[in-house]
Structure 1
Amino acid sequence: MSHNAIRPLTNIGDAPSHNPSLSAPNSAALPYSRPATPGAHDHLRIGWIGVGALGYHMVGNLAKYPPARPPVALPIRIWNRSSERPRKLQQELGNDKIVIAQSIEEVATTCDVIFTSLAADDVVKGIYTKFAEALKAHPPSKNKIFVETSTVYPKISGELDSLISSIPHCHLITSPVFGQPAAAAARQLVAYMAGDYQSKKIVAHLLVPAVARKVSDLGGNLEKAPTFKLIGNAVILSSMEVIAEAYTMAAKSGIDQAVVAEFIKGEYQLFPSPIWLNYSNKMLNNLFDGSSGFAIDGGVKDATHIRHLSTDMNSPMPTVDVAFQHLLSARALHESQKRAGNPEFPVLDWSAMVGGVRLAAGLPALHKDEGSSVEKDD
């Protein structure tokens, strides 16, 4: 990984968070002007690979609120490994907004801007290998932009760029996003971009305000955006670890954990972010169903990447190391429940890492209540 300094962040735009209606960002605040007005035949054909918890809402919002400039040609062509989510989205929005592609190759060869939102590095590499094979067999005659939004290890970006940049007229940018599915549904994601300037300019205006409330530019080095994504996730994960430890200490001390919750969100406002307050609430109330949140497998993957980055950069992140162990403990407990045929949750949310902390303290792992009634003498 390159050690070049990251440029100061520059906001591409904000959609007002207080107003759920779609409104254009303030053009005076944009480092990128609007793309030049193309001819009527130059409407961008959008493709989307990966319709998971975030991708479902992202592509859905882009289909519902396509920008006029750059103009988008509907319907958007989507592909997912399983067909359930694509069919649901198509039924929800209609055939005039969403069409289901028959193959990855179809998306690559027929679309001008192709977004990928995938769960794992090997899946990302496999998809982009198929992109490259399809486009080498059918070389494009005009520009194509590939937008990788997944959370991957930064060095993967170079491998993807080698695949894509070897094909004439093809460009890759990295643009991971921050936000939970609820934020994606509300168009409140925040994206960080790196790569080709003109490509970022086009994609930024596709995303804001239809999909995200803000985009920040990290320069031309494709590795910078996924690196920052891991740094941001390290902050979130480390904060979750501190909250989990605080709740567990309160339980062992005979203090109602609701008091800790009030301390976090009350007068002191230690964690004002909705993300942290949401995870705090999940830990407080044992809300560990990850089917609509962030599954613990994804948390383990991200923590593994963060620790790898820490090693590569010789920059220790000890809190992440501890949190990683607690994620593994919680996942192991869940796997044991599944083997016994009695899992409490079909998919475990990564906030269940508090179970690893509770287990180390001798408390029931996925239930706080049994350990909360300990009475201590004054």
Structure 2
Amino acid sequence: MSSPTLSPITPSNTKIGWIGIGVMGFAMASRLISAGYTLTFYARTASKGEPLLALGAQLAASPADVARSSNIVFTMLGHPEDVRQIVLAKETGVLAGLSANGIIVDHTSSHPELAKEIYSAAREKRCWAVDAPVSGGDVGARDGNLTIFAGGEIQIVSWLSPLLEIMGSKVSYMGGAGSGQSCKIANQIVVGANLLGLSEGLVFAGEVGLDKSRWMEAVQGGAAGSKVMELFGQRMIDRDFRPGGFAEYMVKDMGMGVDFVERRKGDDENKVVVMPGASITKQLFSGMVANGDGKLGTQGLITVIERINGISDVGRLTG
């Protein structure tokens, strides 16, 4: 399938739309504005858009109106059902307002099958869709150091690189539509396992009388070290559970991986795929949600391990 002939992306000829201005979305959109791009956004609660308005962005009345004002529309939402409504709603969705050769880039951690559906719907309108979830948390979003996993047409992803590289330090093309989302799910499986190991390591260190910060400094240069430890270790020690990404989103992300495994087992009884770590980590994050802590950051997983061990979490910060 051939790609359109598109003019080079520059602040003077590219109008950007943005939908989703949570912790991550606001930071990412702000970086594009700082780079000189004109940005129109939609917010279900208009007052939440005031910080973007202060930076010079324009507020639109609906996702379709954002698309009518834009060449490229980015979304950074919470759940797949949010993406479906914002993008595919018949009269008010992004695709309802996007002109031919317009592009939608979904940064939400969503479902690969939904990404394929959006791609097909976009092509029916002679538009293009890229699924491009990210990793790196709120710090990565603020500093432009996100890792971006992109699925769709490679020519479109390459053409978008001037914008993606404002938000991310690494952009990886993973394959056709849905491949970016599949990559993110696999990423979250590893992140979840690292968060669990870090939580248990810190709890153990504390229970045997080690200074937790000194322990982390000792091990982070060896095989136990990880980006998760770099991003979240000190936050766990400081009881800082302000969210870069909500714990409840990990239940969603891990769930998409576990559900995929269950479907594969149903399709072929002779093909058994076992992911015990992902299943356990999903249940532990579900425990956070059940404890009323779903809006804490993912580093709050340590509170579940503490509860299991009867350790008080007095003094935690919820942001």
Aligned to 2:124: 166
Q: Deviations over 1:140-182 (max 9, x none)?
A: 3x41111111101211112222332221x21111111111122
Query: Once the 2 structures are TM-superposed, how far is the Cα of residue 87 of structure 1 from its aligned partner?
Result: 1.4
Aligned counterpart in structure 2 of residue 195 of structure 1, from 145, 149, 152: 152
CA distance in 1, matches of 2:157, 2:97: 25
Whole-angstrom CA distance in 2 between matches of 1:270 and 1:138: 49
Deviations 1:302-329 (A, max 9, x none): 2222322333455333222222222222
State the partner residue of 1:25: none
Indicate the SS of the match to 1:157: helix
SS in 2 for 1:147: strand
Shift of 1:132: 6.8
Q: Which residue matches 2:46? A: 83
Is contact 2:119–2:129 with CA below 8 Å preserved after alignment?
Answer: yes
TM-score, normalised via structure 2 length: 0.85
The aligned counterpart of 1:108 is 67
User: C-alpha offsets along residues 85-130 of structure 1, whole Å, 9 cap, x if unaligned?
Assistant: 3211221x23xxx111121110122321111111001000011122
Counterpart Cα distance in 2 of 1:138 and 1:280: 44
Cα distance, 1:285 vs structure 2: 2.3
Matched, 1:186 2:143: yes
Match of residue 271 from structure 1: 225
| 2:243 maps to 1:303 | no
- The match for 1:227 among 182, 195, 201 is 182
Superposed, 1:1-378 pairs within 5 Å as: 37=8, 43-66=13-36, 74-91=37-54, 93-94=55-56, 98-130=57-89, 140=99, 142-167=100-125, 169-208=126-165, 210-219=166-175, 221-265=176-220, 267-268=221-222, 270-273=224-227, 275-290=228-243, 293-313=244-264, 314-334=272-292, 347-365=295-313
**Cα shift at 1:227:** 0.5
Larger Rg: 1
* CA displacement at 1:138 relative to structure 2: 6.5
Partners of 1:205 and 1:101 lie apart in 2 by 25
Distance 1:264 1:316, change over 3 A: farther
* Structure 2: distance between partners of 1:134 and 1:307: 30
User: How many residue pairs align between the two structures?
Assistant: 305
CA deviation after TM superposition for structure 1 residue 49, in Å: 1.0
DSSP 3-state at the match of 2:23 = coil
Q: 1:132 to 1:364 in 2, by over 3 A?
A: same
Query: What is the distance in 1 between the residues matched to 2:93 and 2:300?
Result: 41
Contact 2:248 2:286 (C-alpha < 8 Å) held by counterparts: no
TM-score by length of 1: 0.73
How far has the Cα of 1:232 moved from its partner?
A: 1.0
Structure 1 position 365, deviation (Å)? 4.6
Identify the residue that residue 11 of structure 1 maps to in structure 2.
Answer: none
Aligned-residue Cα RMSD (Å) equals 2.9
Q: Secondary structure at the match of 1:334?
A: coil
Question: Relative contact order: is structure 1 or structure 2 higher (C-alpha 8 Å, sep ≥ 6)?
Answer: 1
Q: Mind listing any 5+ residue stretches in structure 1 that lack a counterpart?
A: 1-33, 67-73, 336-345, 369-378
